[in-house]
Structure 1
């Protein structure tokens, strides 16, 4: 009986793990002290996960509007991105910055807290110095967000395989230096999602 009870408790614990939509609802309700790694991985495990989807094009529009100083347009594009991918780092960063400029300190603080939580989640997944200690990402945009957070610019990129996993090997440098360093990002989840997408396409669609 004890074993059965423990098994049931274990099963209930697994069932109680928040889904991606649960995390989104929590953050929108103001709960910011969440497990951001679990949040990111819940998105990657959800049917909404599209690392190569429409959000990628919108991210470019966010940055273009933000650099041009058009915060209303930047926030509007950020909202579009967050509707399909609420763990998109740059959307939260731009939202926080623009809201602060507009004097909306409380909403800016919340957006900034989510931005910091997501960046720290990626940075906490490794040190990026080798394939074995690579940063684990669920989107290409996370790679660029991390590089920006570390004040690095990309020099060269290559997709490599090592130990049965896929990695983006990024040669980077500080913005005020010519010294080249190398960072590794584990992209297994992106590669697996791409493979699933191709498998789900009919031969006619592929042609």
Structure 2
């Protein structure tokens, strides 16, 4: 009788364990499909003999210990900067698609779209952020860490130079999108924007508590970039 009861007990004990193992296997398989399903889509490294293109290749190879300030500035010097300018509409539409895919939890599509964005502009902190968050969600920790390092490397190359509290100490950006990204990271909403001192963007914002603040972004490199586009 004891043996029969023990046998019943073992069967009852094994069943939930087996179910748990099956669920874990399914989750692993699902994540594996998500990761491997998008391997055909790669970030396209510009085939140009310049500093920007060479650095993109270095970063794609996983070597993330670089001078991110110089890398950002090299973008405006590269032919890819003009190509990216010509693809503004495509970049904008891809960004819209990315947010739509995020709302629908289409992780493989998000990865594909963010890679297309980075193929146009590898300095896009927003694309790196969304890509690393998606990789983290599906369990690809290696790629998540890689794009986290790149995202914060780009971010720190701006906010670690100046304090943003005056035009003299404004955060230097090469594209206005960098300023908007920083404001988003600070969790504030833009209320008013105007040029100050000729070379600064004065951003009046409101934080989550309703408190008004002002941040300054040095934009001389933005003007230089626009001039270079005119001359190319």
Residue matched to 1:129: 165
CA distance in 1, matches of 2:86, 2:209: 34
Hey, which of these two has a bigger chunk of helix by percent?
2
Residue matched to 1:95: 131
Tell me, which stretches of 5 or more residues in structure 1 are unaligned? 1-17, 201-207
What is the Cα deviation at residue 27 of structure 1? 0.7
User: RMSD of the TM alignment (CA)?
Assistant: 2.0
Residue 29 and residue 197 in structure 1: after superposition, are their counterparts in 2 closer, same or farther (change >3 A)?
closer
What is the Cα deviation at residue 119 of structure 1? 1.0
Please report the TM-score for the alignment, with normalisation by the length of structure 2.
0.70
Three-state SS of the structure 2 residue aligned to 1:48 is helix
Residue matched to 1:153: 189
What is the Cα deviation at residue 161 of structure 1? 4.5
Query: Of residues 36, 58, 77 in structure 1, which corresponds to 2:68?
Result: 36
Residue matched to 1:190: 222
Query: Of residues 112, 115, 126 in structure 2, which corresponds to 1:79?
Result: 115
Residue matched to 2:105: 69
CA distance in 2, matches of 1:134, 1:52: 25
Three-state SS of the structure 2 residue aligned to 1:181 is strand
Answer yes or no: is the 8 Å Cα contact 1:137–1:187 preserved in 2: yes
CA distance in 2, matches of 1:118, 1:173: 25
Query: Of residues 173, 177, 201 in structure 2, which corresponds to 1:141?
Result: 177
CA distance in 2, matches of 1:60, 1:113: 25
Residue matched to 1:167: 200
Q: Number of paired residues?
A: 179
Is 1:108–2:144 an aligned residue pair?
yes
Residue 60 and residue 171 in structure 1: after superposition, are their counterparts in 2 closer, same or farther (change >3 A)?
farther
Three-state SS of the structure 2 residue aligned to 1:131 is coil
CA distance in 1, matches of 2:167, 2:115: 34
CA distance in 2, matches of 1:156, 1:73: 35
CA distance in 1, matches of 2:227, 2:196: 15
CA distance in 1, matches of 2:76, 2:59: 17
The higher radius of gyration belongs to 2
